[in-house]
Structure 1
Amino acid sequence: MTDENLDPLKPGYPFNAHLVSGITPIVKGDELDFWIDRPKGLKGIILNLTVSGAGLVFPGTPQEQTVRSGNLMLIPAGTKHDYGRHPDFHNWYHRWVYFRPRATWMDWLKWTKTHNGVGFLDLEECKTCEALPIIEPLFQSIDQSCKTHSIVAEELSLNLLEQVLIRCREYDNARPKLPVDHRILRVCQFINENLSKELSVEELSRVACMSNSRFSHLFKKQLGVSVRQWIEDQRISLARQLLITTDLAVNQISGYLGYQDALYFSRVFKKNLGVSPRDFRQTHL
């Protein structure tokens, strides 16, 4: 593979990782000023935020869309890519994240406004807050985290991306919804910062400043899964990344995630992904 193939901004990049991010600074006539045409899309999802200039999507069709500063675009896996710099604009700068979603994100990936399967969201239409100053720094933090090359950089980036997707759900004004309670968001952050610890419903309820029963009910209502399942999903997601990106032994990963019994961890991993941790690692070498 050539050096050019290793640049996600250039044609031929394989997008084999679970998460890649960056900013594409397109200026009229420069080397990045080419059209993106992927009829079968990618294996993962693209989340795109225009920060200046404008892009054109599905030109010459009834689904044609112009994306400007503050516009988000969500391209699901296997969905056609057909976009580039808008010819009436000198530049198009857009931040983007390519990712494979966690199982618990599915509801957050259903946007109200879609064209040809691609979701569109205008942050300027958010009536309750200044949305862009919240979303763009999260994109920047994802990109910075990806470049640290630490063993948990990808997992930290996924946690930041999760915040972006939750915010997008909040900002989708056309979608009937109950906004995610700030207390639930605070608990999610606490969980991700303490995955290696034994986290009880009682402790998490105190973080949320709610009763145990009220907290458990609200958590499941808003995120679609029980708090126990959500914690397990986060641990398995991190285990997957550590198996791929490090040489840590399975029992070391088990301990790092707070599982005292490596055999129990292996059973939980297989229940979620259908293969043992060792087999999973072998298939991703």
Structure 2
Amino acid sequence: MLHKFDTREPQLDPLKPGYPFNAHLVAGSTPIHKNGDLDFWINRPSGLKGFIINLTVAGTGLVFPRTEDERRVHPGDMMLLPTGVKHDYGRAPEVDQWYHRWIYFRPRATWSEWLKWANLIAGVGFLSIDSDVSLQRIESLFEDVEKVSHSETMLSEELSFNLLEQILIRCCELDTNRPQFPIDKRIHQVCQYIHEHLGSELSITELSKIACMSNSRFSHLFKQQLGVPVRQWIEDQRVSLARQLLITTNLAVNQVSRHLGYQDALYFSRVFKKKLGVSPREYREGHL
């Protein structure tokens, strides 16, 4: 008989209930056997701070049991659980096992179009891979993400995100029912400008002029296209670059802060910790 656990207690093992998922990317595989140590129910009413993408490789999983949204996942079935969406799944009781690979991640702002799956049930995206070749390719990418993310090389996280991007893009190619919404070229131009001027003030007025729009129209279209407000997107890009600088350079935290346009290093540290759960100094020490 499956047991439900409250997953809110602190936990260091990502396969066990209560793991906080404070990192930007965590990957693993969960081999569930009937009555085994991992044979418990995942019940997160408020979901997580990031996304989880899940691939069933053996057995059967049960999602949203005893509701109108109940669904089973079999080998080749994928799930995409967005931020804040309820998690309610485990091994289907009629089978003895459920093996699935998974990646938890906090998406980069430029990924918003790749995260819009056509088949949504209770906010969770579902995709079935019918081609053996495509399934082998995607499962191999899941394996690579897990392997690279567990390594201790300087750029392992960047490599992991690169591999994850490939998974998301391939899923979009396989999702034949997915509507196509190309990013407006004016918004794309602004994104390029932001990347090239992350150390500048970057006011909404300045960016609106580049897009040749009013402030209100630009702000509305930007959020519509990328899924987040302009300021949040800029902050995400700055924190992403800060992580790279903290790992790959000897710049002091206050120098990194100034490089990214934050004149107040304490404010930069608060922003960084809010995004990642650790201070810039703690982040650097954790990657030495």
The reply to whether residue 150 of structure 1 matches residue 153 of structure 2 is yes
Q: Measure, in 1, the Cα distance between the counterparts of 2:268 and 2:155.
A: 17
User: Are 2:188 and 1:225 equivalent residues in the alignment?
Assistant: yes
Question: Where does structure 1 lack aligned partners over 5 or more consecutive residues?
Answer: 179-217, 255-261
Question: CA RMSD of the aligned region, Å?
Answer: 3.3
CA distance in 2, matches of 1:91, 1:139: 20
Match of 1:161 among 159, 164, 167: 164
Letter in 2 for 1:120: F
- 1:15 aligns to what? 21
- Residue 60 of structure 2 aligns to a residue whose secondary structure is strand
Normalising by structure 2, report the TM-score: 0.68
- Mark the CA change 1:85 to 1:153 in structure 2 (over 3 Å): closer, same or farther: same
SS at match of 2:125: strand
Per the alignment, residue 137 of structure 2 pairs with 134
Q: Cα–Cα, structure 1 residues 68 and 244, in superposed 2: closer, same or farther, change >3 Å?
A: farther
SS of the aligned residue for 2:40 comes to coil
Equivalent position of 2:108 in the other structure: 102
Partner of 2:179 in structure 1? Answer: 176
Once the two structures are TM-superposed, the CA of residue 276 in structure 1 deviates from its matched residue by 6.8
Q: Distance in 1 between matches of 2:193 and 2:102?
A: 29
Partner Cα distance (1:104, 1:248) in 2: 28
The answer on whether the counterparts of 1:154 and 1:241 sit within 8 Å (CA) in structure 2 is no
Q: Is the 8 A contact 2:15 2:30 kept in 1?
A: yes
Q: Which residue of 2 aligns with 1:47?
A: 53
Alignment identity in percent? 46
Instruction: Single out whichever of 230-239 and 153-162 deviates more from structure 2.
Output: 230-239
Quote the Cα distance in structure 2 between the aligned partners of 1:87 and 1:41: 23
| Aligned 8 A contact 1:21 1:142 in 2 | yes
What is the TM-score normalised by the length of structure 1? Answer: 0.69
Aligned length: 226
- Change beyond 3 A, Cα 1:230–1:70: farther
Aligned-partner residue type, residue 162 of structure 1: E
Give the whole-Å Cα distance in 2 for the aligned partners of 1:118 and 1:17: 22
* 1:249 equivalent in structure 2: 251
Q: 1:266 aligns with which of 256, 260, 274?
A: 260
Unaligned runs of 5+ in 2: 1-9, 197-233, 280-288
Residue number in structure 2 paired with 1:31: 37
